[in-house]
Amino acid sequence: MKRTKTYTPELREEAVKLVLAQGLTLEHAATRIAIPKGTLANWVSAAKNGATPSAVPGSRTVPELEAENAKLRKELAEAATIQSDAAAASMPLYTGNEPNSRISRTGNENADL
């Protein structure tokens, strides 16, 4: 009597990622994680068709993660710009004409020395 092997959702997800995200062949990926090639082919086919009943709850697809990554990079760039603008706005502007300035109106730093 043949016994059906049960695989965890995490193993299924990682196996599909080996083929779809990393570009391994079905044969190489199946050998690497010691599962039948046909089983992996079924999982990959289901994933390509959008049927992912074995996906881990809360897991996200590569395109979803890439979109989130792009969004976060944009937010980080905006925050850095805001921080840079705020730092520049808070810096005093020195013209050399301030009292007790060591720079004379002629631009010679040693003029007062």
pLDDT in tens, 82-99: 888 888 777 776 666 666
Q: What is the mean pLDDT of residues 10-23?
A: 89
Are the C-beta atoms of residues 40 and 30 closer than 8 Å to each other? yes
In which band, very low, low, confident or very high, does the pLDDT at 69 lie, cut at 50, 70 and 90?
A: very high
Residue type, 113: L
For 64, other C-beta atoms within 10 Å of its C-beta total 10
Please tell me the predicted confidence (pLDDT) of residue 83.
86
Say if CB 33 and CB 11 are below 8 A apart: yes
Q: How confident is the model at residue 4 (pLDDT cuts 50, 70, 90)?
A: confident
* pLDDT score for 87: 80
